[in-house]
Amino acid sequence: MDFIPAISIKDIVDILIVSYVIYNLILLVRGTRAIQLLKGIFVVVVTWALSTWFKLNTLQWMMNQMFTFGVLAVIIIFQPELRRALEQLGRGTLFSRTTTEDDQELNKRIGEVLKAVNYLARRKIGALIVFERETGLNDYIESGISIESHISSELLINIFIPNTPLHDGAVFLRKNQLMAAGCYLPLSENPFISKELGTRHRAAIGMSEVSDAICVIVSEETGQVSLAMNGHILRDIKEESLLSKLFEELKSKTKAKEKSSIWKWRLK
């Protein structure tokens, strides 16, 4: 009769704790750039396993060399994610779960933004507002001045008034909080972007290329409002269309991810 090892309550608790930690670590990196890096590591591991199975000596030697320096490479590659995890651990929010805001809160948030955008557009005052979604944007938020205030149209308008200290950078919104202003964004290197678009529009497109963020731009030359998302930009979007698109994309992260794959705009 085969020996069946006895499983104690301590072993069950141990397994449950490890499973809980792994599950929350997956939630931490889900929707960030780290998930793409993890997929790359998975491909490398599969390649190593196949080279071992089929005894492909040269390929197996290459994989072994990669694993030799793999730990150091992982620390370097995942440095932003590791730093964010340690910061959240220090604040006691590593395993916290965010709740989905209801329609009323979302309508209020979007309404405040649209009120400010309309005011700025009528007076041709340039603005760049970034809505954070699933991809963590702390690296870009930390490049500006921390505010962490409730979103209001008056505050947004005052930030972008010309000749004020923060009017040149971008504003980051996370849920119902205005996190920071005067932030620096990565410029898009897409060669097909219209030459008519300036630095503010290129920064918005660049931000949407490296994350799932939604960017609202007000042109200081024309007063037109544009929306950047998934590396594309829709210029001169009307208020009704902007309202419906923001509500649609911000209401449900799951639906937004599904629809973003089929949402294609042409660069003008």
87 shares its domain with 112: no
256 shares its domain with 233: yes
For residue 48, what pLDDT band results from cuts at 50, 70 and 90?
confident
Higher pLDDT, 140 or 27: 140
Q: And the tokens for 85?
A: 């995890």
For residue 114, what pLDDT band results from cuts at 50, 70 and 90?
very high
Number of domains comprising the chain: 2
pTM: 0.61
249 shares its domain with 117: yes
- State how beta strands 232-234 and 225-229 pair: antiparallel
Q: Which residues contact 169 (CB under 8 A, 6 or more apart)?
A: 128, 144, 181, 182, 183, 184
Specify the pLDDT at position 266. 43
200 shares its domain with 245: yes
Does a structural domain hold residue 139?
Answer: yes
Instruction: CATH number of the domain at 147, please.
Output: 3.40.1700.10
Specify the pLDDT at position 134. 81
Q: Which residues contact 35 (CB under 8 A, 6 or more apart)?
A: 29
Report the distance separating Cα 161 and Cα 218, nearest Å.
Answer: 12
Does a structural domain hold residue 3?
Answer: no
pLDDT(177) > 50:
yes
Domain boundary among 67, 91, 115: 91
The number of beta carbons lying within 10 Å of the beta carbon of residue 215 is 24
Mean pLDDT of 11-16: 86
Question: 65-102, pLDDT tens digit by residue?
Answer: 877 777 677 777 667 666 666 655 665 555 554 444 56
Q: Which of 150, 176, 185 is nearest to 250 (CA)?
A: 176
136 shares its domain with 34: no
Phi-psi region of 231 (alpha: psi -120 to 50; beta: other; left: phi over 0): left
211 shares its domain with 132: yes
